[in-house]
């Protein structure tokens, strides 16, 4: 699968990140193909929580504690707002 936002390394770069404390939602823009074989862009959202392990090294996980849920809700809401508003702006320009 091809990607749109890339560096010289060929890695897909995030479109936008929203962080609330240790919880983060990242928006990615990806390129794919429709059933007809036409190129199309689509967005994905990844979420993670950062923490320090017993050796004081930073790690990340996709598991959340109950106390993380308000922050998770906030970053997901912001991510949705960003994607929805951007899509509305794009469709109004067309």
- Please write the tens of the pLDDT for every residue from 65-78: 999 999 999 999 99
* One pLDDT digit (tens) per residue for the chain, 94 residues: 334 445 555 677 899 999 999 999 999 999 999 999 999 999 999 999 999 999 999 999 999 999 999 999 999 999 999 999 877 666 655 5
Q: 78: closest CA among 70, 68, 90, 89?
A: 70
**What was the pLDDT predicted at 2?**
39
Q: How far apart are CA 10 and CA 88, in angstroms?
A: 29
Q: What is the pTM of this model?
A: 0.76
């Amino acid at each position: 699968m091809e990607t749109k936002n890339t560096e010289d390394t060929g890695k897909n770069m995030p479109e936008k990140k929203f962080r609330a404390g240790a919880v983060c939602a990242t928006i990615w823009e990806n390129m794919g193909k429709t059933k007809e074989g036409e190129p199309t862009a689509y967005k994905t959202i990844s979420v993670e929580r950062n923490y320090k392990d017993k050796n004081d090294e930073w790690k990340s996980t996709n598991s959340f504690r109950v106390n993380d849920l308000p922050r998770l809700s906030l970053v997901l809401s912001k991510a949705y707002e960003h994607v929805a508003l951007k899509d509305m702006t794009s469709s109004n320009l067309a």
